[in-house]
Structure formats: C-alpha cells, structure tokens
Amino acid sequence: MPLYTIWQTSSGGSIAYAAVHCWVGDLLIAASCLGIAILTTNRNWPIRHYGRTAVLATALGVISTILLEWLNVDLLQNWAYAPSMPVLPLLGTGLSPLLQWLILPPVAFAWARSREAELVQ
C-alpha cells in the first residue's frame, strides 16, 4: 500500500477497505486465469500439461495486471501510484503489481506440484 497514494491521503478504514477489495479482486483474477488456462490447455489438469497450464495462467495474470492497472490508473483514475512506485517505461505499469503476478503464481504452482508429489508417494 505505501506505493499507492491512498497510503498518504486516506484514513485507516479506507486503506483497510482498499486492501480487502484489492485482495478479493486478485483472488478473482487468479481464479479466472487458472480456469481459462485449464480449459485451454487440458481439462485433465493437474495430471497432464502442468507446466503449460502454469505458464499460461501466469501470462494471463500479467496481461490482466497490465490492462487493469492501465484502466484504473490512467483511464478511470480509480487509484494512483505514489512517487516511490517504480513504473515500467512505455507501459507505465507499476512494478509492484507486475512482480506480484510474475512471482507468486509460479511459486504457488511449484508448491502445489510438490504437495501433489508428496501425496502420490
């Protein structure tokens, strides 16, 4: 949150609401990206095409982030980046939300895969 202006300009209640709202939105984005990836790659997931599904879900999350950040920051101005937020040249997408979708899904998929392997043994 400190990388967004809401951290400096809003009350604690507004910040808490924004955190929960964004968390729920991220869950919906993740579920949608995973669902689309499963339907696209193989309905037999996670047994088949695990890596392909993971890559596609991560890519969809990154694309969604770029589009939603552009929509909400630039077009609708629903939120704004603090000066401390690093942004990507040309796109203007904040580095923090982008890294979230580049790092967390592969880590989650790797963890889930390891748990699956433990359960099979």
Give the pLDDT of the chain (121 residues) as one tens digit per residue. Answer: 899 999 999 999 999 999 999 999 999 999 999 999 999 987 788 878 889 999 999 999 999 999 999 999 999 999 999 999 999 999 999 999 999 999 999 999 999 888 876 776 6
Residue 53: predicted pLDDT = 93
106 token code pair: 């592969």
Q: How would you class 66 by CB atoms within 10 Å of its CB: exposed for 0-12, middle for 13-18, buried for 19 or more?
A: middle
Residue 121: predicted pLDDT = 64
Residues 6+ apart with CB under 8 A from 46: 53, 112, 113, 116
Would you put residue 31 in left (φ > 0), alpha (ψ -120 to 50) or beta?
A: alpha
Helix axes 12-41, 50-69, angle to 10 degrees: 140
pTM (2 d.p.): 0.89
Q: Give the C-alpha separation, 23 to 80, whole Å.
A: 17
Residue 47: predicted pLDDT = 79
Q: Give the C-alpha separation, 90 to 18, whole Å.
A: 27
Q: Provide the residue ranges of all domains of the chain, joining segments of one domain with +.
A: 6-120
How many C-beta atoms surround the C-beta of residue 42 within 10 A? 15
